[in-house]
């Protein structure tokens, strides 16, 4: 007979513990979960998104009712546990239900702290803790105009922004000198205030609320200095208190929270505590990551795992994104007396970074405006990595251009944390991708929880997917979960409303995630490039990781450098440069690629700008969704079977269309005779020289699924071939789905339809006119890659901007 395991609390910590138990030993327990709220388990972190109408209540449910049924879990919700008989091992709920247990977990969470002042019980005074609180706030916002949020911490600011988004006039009242004073230093707190004030929020700092005014419902508030202000709604967000009343009643040791040891055991046998209600080594944690770390240890304990690693406390971090204000805080940033610090501030971009050090190791982190390196610093801090061997400014190098690519995750150890909210390591993600066959960020999130809380780690998750799966991670589809619109609807609105940036698209078309995601950002950026080639400024941050890094990331975190060799031709001078660079930088592999170019493989990230500068060659863009390469044979210039000048035509094609954005990579093959030494019949645009001209084929694919190209016809001149190639490229650009190769595109569009378009002289002329506009906008160079004769552009892409101030204390 199975042991009976009961969890009091249906929140994030308790249910995560149950998930961990099921993963380890699904048949071990008969499980019952007792919850106070009327909902199944949901992601409390996402309540601010519900308040801001970015998500619905249904979308933040992490474990729907079906999950409980599928896992044979009895859920008693909307029925609080009110009594525990430890002798007879029974629990009584508010409705009178009696539940027996063999083992019991307290996961009762916390209560929001409500100021003990006159008027705190009036209508219109709410906390911001539950779905019901959020619904009440939304209802008030629909009826009233003025709101006050008491508390300038993380949750308070998210509540204030959410109410403002509902049309309310919002003031934040805060007792301290600056916002988020326990997570930010004064400078970062003031920067945050300036940004939020520019968005319309108001602040009263160093104000102590003494009384809430009004009759039945709140009408205003009075402060300690005697001043008053009117309001229709007051949200109290000034902290939480562990919900430990029931635990205290039954004899558990309770200080601030329920006291537990390193295995989450209380002072009574077979009774445990986890989450916000638990106190470990004098600390109660109010953030998600520590709660999940506790849940894993408790799951190991309850399933008798070998070599259980005891819980040793958590290093916490805070991350906030409120419409234009990014911040990240970790470790000790308050009690910093006696610590050294490194600080960088760029006043033009409002980017600020400060790292606190003790004996050369990071003890605290404050980032404002550019938070993408938060995970890197956090992992360095957790591992106790010494900075003695690093240059001071190198620690803060990402303050300038090039930050936020997320590619650094490839060089991390597998035990380093990618998703701090949910305690998911790089190794966890890679194992899930490999073992479960995952192909999207959403699938990784479903299996590992990575990216399902604050979402800041999604770029790193996407990078790991791309590194593992290559092109298959971006298989063609409509759009993504950020919108209900499909590709055609989005493109139509881009034209109809003259939308010129991804932000305009996301805002105007009601994106659920206002920042987009790693799947839709590059797609929308591409559609904008096609629609408005001269008006839309290409958004480098929206490019996929290989494009942002201007190189292909290899499985070990190094890169490949592949210069362009048009038509597969090179010169002795180019070969000498390649050899000299490969020798100087100890490049481990020099290889002729499948597209007739020479690649340097295993290049270190730090060496990329120097190598490109010394090569002084143009990038082949072997990493981009662009017109990639033209593979040629030697043709009639040298081969006795050759009928046409294939190398000459290949160079002309490459010079004409290089750097042109396409939905996916676009490859061309030019063979000099029907022997087709360059496999023209499996290229996106294949050409075979014959006695009377050139046979042209389209839509071939030599990749995972071999697809033979379809014959378009035979054409007499090079000019006709180039014109057809340009027309096809533009038609593919205008109608293709981002991530879709020409083979499925041709099948979806219909070969007969595409052939009719390309062979119609008038339509071909129209396509060429649109293509010419794009080529002119490109300026016949890559505007977002590193390799260009434009020295200023190259330096902008690769040189870290010097911050206005760098100080070492």
At 488 the pLDDT is 85
pLDDT digits (tens, 9 = 90+) for 600-630: 888 887 787 788 788 877 776 666 788 888 8
pTM: 0.66
Supply 750's token pair. 């219909």
Tell me what the mean pLDDT of segment 202-229 comes to: 95
pLDDT digits (tens, 9 = 90+) for 549-591: 667 767 666 778 888 777 778 888 888 988 998 899 898 888 8
Please give the DSSP secondary-structure letter assigned to residue 642. Answer: -
Q: Is residue 29 scored above 60 in pLDDT?
A: yes
Annotated binding site for siroheme: 677
CATH class entry, domain 626-778 = alpha beta
Residues 6+ apart with CB under 8 A from 215: none
At 289 the pLDDT is 82
Identify each DSSP E strand in 407-492 by its residue range.
Answer: 417-419, 424-425
Evaluate whether the domain defined by 125-238 bears CATH number 3.50.50.60. yes
Domain boundaries, the chain: 3-111+242-302, 125-238, 317-358+371-469, 475-542, 626-778
State the pLDDT confidence band at 193, using cuts at 50, 70 and 90.
very high
CA 513 vs CA 202, 474, 482, 544: distances in Å: 25, 19, 5, 18
Residue 636 vs residue 758, higher pLDDT: 758
Annotated binding site for [4Fe-4S] cluster: 633, 639, 673, 677
Domains 3-111+242-302 and 125-238 agree in fold: yes
Residue 744 vs residue 458, higher pLDDT: 744
State the pLDDT confidence band at 787, using cuts at 50, 70 and 90.
very low
- Show the CA angle centred on residue 732, arms to residues 730 and 733, nearest 5°: 60
In this structure, which topology does domain 317-358+371-469 adopt according to CATH? Arc Repressor Mutant, subunit A (1.10.10)
At 315 the pLDDT is 78
At 786 the pLDDT is 38
At 402 the pLDDT is 36
Q: Is residue 754 scored above 50 in pLDDT?
A: yes
Q: What is the dihedral of CA 352, 373, 663, 660, to 10 degrees?
A: 60
Summary mean pLDDT of the chain = 84
State the pLDDT confidence band at 396, using cuts at 50, 70 and 90.
low
Q: Is residue 259 scored above 60 in pLDDT?
A: yes
At 704 the pLDDT is 66
* Nearest to 320, CA basis, from 201, 179, 127, 442: 179
State the pLDDT confidence band at 401, using cuts at 50, 70 and 90.
very low
At 800 the pLDDT is 28
Burial of 540 (C-beta count, 10 Å sphere; 0-12/13-18/19+): middle
State the pLDDT confidence band at 5, using cuts at 50, 70 and 90.
very high
State the pLDDT confidence band at 646, using cuts at 50, 70 and 90.
confident
At 804 the pLDDT is 38
Tell me what the mean pLDDT of segment 347-363 comes to: 85
Rounded CA-CA distance 67/39 in Å is 13
Tell me what the mean pLDDT of segment 638-655 comes to: 85
Q: Is residue 779 scored above 80 in pLDDT?
A: no
CA 512 vs CA 288, 473, 483, 497, 553: distances in Å: 23, 22, 6, 19, 31
pLDDT digits (tens, 9 = 90+) for 376-390: 788 888 888 776 545
At 66 the pLDDT is 94
Annotated binding site: 633, 639, 673, 677
At 566 the pLDDT is 77
Q: Is residue 56 scored above 90 in pLDDT?
A: no
Candidates 3.40.190.10, 2.40.40.20, 3.30.470.10, 3.50.50.60; CATH matching 3-111+242-302: 3.50.50.60
Tell me what the mean pLDDT of segment 176-192 comes to: 91
Name the residue with tokens 């048949």.
27
Tell me what the mean pLDDT of segment 721-744 comes to: 91
> Per mean pLDDT, which of 128-142, 412-426, 766-780 is the most reliable?
128-142
State the pLDDT confidence band at 408, using cuts at 50, 70 and 90.
low
């Amino acid at each position: 007979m199975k042991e009976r395991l009961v969890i009091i609390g249906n929140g994030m910590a308790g249910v995560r513990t149950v998930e961990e138990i099921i993963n380890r030993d699904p048949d071990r327990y008969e499980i019952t979960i007792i919850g106070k709220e009327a909902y199944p388990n949901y992601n409390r972190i996402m309540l601010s998104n519900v308040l801001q109408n970015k998500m619905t209540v249904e979308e933040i449910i992490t474990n729907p009712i079906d999950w409980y049924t599928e896992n044979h879990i009895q859920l008693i919700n909307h029925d609080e546990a009110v009594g525990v008989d430890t002798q007879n091992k029974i629990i009584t709920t508010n409705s009178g239900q009696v539940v027996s247990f063999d083992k019991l977990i307290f996961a009762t969470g916390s209560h929001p702290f409500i100021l003990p002042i006159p008027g705190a019980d009036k209508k219109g005074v709410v906390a911001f803790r539950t779905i019901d609180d959020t619904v009440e706030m939304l209802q008030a916002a629909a009826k009233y105009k003025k709101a006050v949020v008491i508390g300038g911490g993380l949750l308070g600011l998210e509540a204030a922004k959410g109410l403002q988004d509902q049309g309310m006039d919002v003031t934040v009242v805060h007792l301290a000198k600056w916002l988020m004073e326990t997570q930010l230093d004064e400078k970062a707190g003031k920067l945050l205030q300036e940004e939020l004030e520019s968005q319309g929020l108001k602040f009263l700092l160093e104000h102590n609320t003494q009384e809430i005014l009004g009759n039945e419902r709140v009408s205003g508030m009075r402060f300690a200095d005697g001043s008053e202000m009117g309001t229709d709604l007051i949200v109290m967000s000034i902290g939480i208190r562990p919900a430990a009343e029931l635990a205290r009643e039954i004899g558990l040791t309770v200080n601030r929270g329920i006291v537990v040891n390193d295995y989450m055991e209380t002072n009574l046998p077979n009774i445990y505590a986890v989450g916000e209600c638990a106190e470990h080594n004098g600390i109660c944690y109010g953030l998600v990551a520590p709660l999940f770390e506790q849940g894993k240890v408790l799951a190991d304990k309850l399933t008798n795992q070998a070599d259980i690693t005891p819980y040793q406390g958590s290093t916490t971090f805070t991350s906030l994104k409120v419409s234009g204000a990014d911040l990240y805080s970790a470790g000790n940033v308050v009690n910093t007396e006696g610590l050294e610090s490194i600080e960088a501030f760029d006043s033009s971009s409002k980017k600020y970074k400060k790292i606190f050090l003790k004996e050369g190791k990071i003890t605290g982190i404050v980032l404002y405006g550019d938070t993408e390196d938060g995970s890197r610093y956090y992992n360095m801090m957790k591992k106790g990595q010494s900075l003695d061997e690093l240059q001071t400014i190198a620690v803060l190098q990402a303050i300038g251009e090039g930050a936020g690519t997320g590619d650094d995750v490839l060089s991390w150890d597998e035990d380093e944390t990618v998703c701090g909210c949910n305690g998911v390591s790089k190794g966890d993600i890679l194992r899930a991708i490999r073992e479960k066959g995952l192909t999207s960020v959403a699938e990784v999130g479903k299996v590992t929880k990575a990216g399902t809380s604050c979402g800041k780690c999604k770029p790193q998750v996407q990078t790991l997917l791309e590194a593992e799966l290559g092109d298959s991670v971006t298989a063609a589809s409509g759009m993504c979960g950020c919108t209900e619109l499909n590709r055609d609807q989005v493109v139509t609105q881009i034209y109809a409303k003259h939308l010129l940036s991804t932000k305009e698209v996301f805002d105007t078309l009601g994106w659920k995630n206002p920042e987009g995601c790693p799947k839709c950002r590059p797609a929308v950026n591409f559609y904008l490039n096609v629609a408005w080639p001269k008006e839309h400024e290409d958004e480098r941050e929206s490019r996929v990781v290989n494009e942002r890094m201007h190189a292909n990331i290899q499985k070990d975190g190094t890169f490949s450098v592949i210069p362009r060799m048009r038509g597969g031709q090179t010169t002795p001078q180019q070969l000498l440069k390649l050899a000299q660079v490969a020798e100087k930088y100890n490049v481990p592999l020099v290889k002729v690629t499948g597209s007739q170019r020479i690649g340097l493989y295993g290049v270190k990230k730090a060496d990329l700008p120097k190598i490109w500068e010394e090569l002084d060659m143009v990038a082949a863009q072997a990493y981009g969704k662009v017109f990639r390469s033209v593979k040629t044979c030697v043709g009639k210039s040298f081969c006795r079977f050759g009928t046409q000048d294939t190398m000459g035509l290949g160079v002309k094609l490459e010079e004409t269309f290089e750097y042109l954005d396409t939905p996916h990579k676009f490859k061309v093959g030019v063979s000099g005779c029907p022997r087709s030494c360059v496999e023209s019949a499996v290229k996106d645009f294949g050409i075979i020289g014959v006695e009377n001209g050139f046979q042209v084929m389209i839509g071939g694919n030599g990749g995972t699924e071999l697809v033979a190209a379809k014959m378009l016809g035979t054409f007499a001149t090079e000019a006709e071939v180039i014109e057809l190639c340009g027309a096809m490229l533009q038609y593919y650009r205008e109608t293709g789905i981002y991530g879709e190769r020409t083979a499925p595109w041709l099948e979806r569009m219909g070969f007969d339809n595409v052939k009719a378009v390309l062979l119609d002289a008038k339509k071909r002329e129209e396509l060429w006119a649109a293509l010419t506009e794009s080529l002119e906008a490109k300026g016949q160079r890559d505007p977002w890659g590193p390799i260009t004769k434009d020295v200023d552009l190259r330096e902008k892409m690769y040189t870290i901007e010097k911050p206005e101030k760098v100080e070492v204390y």
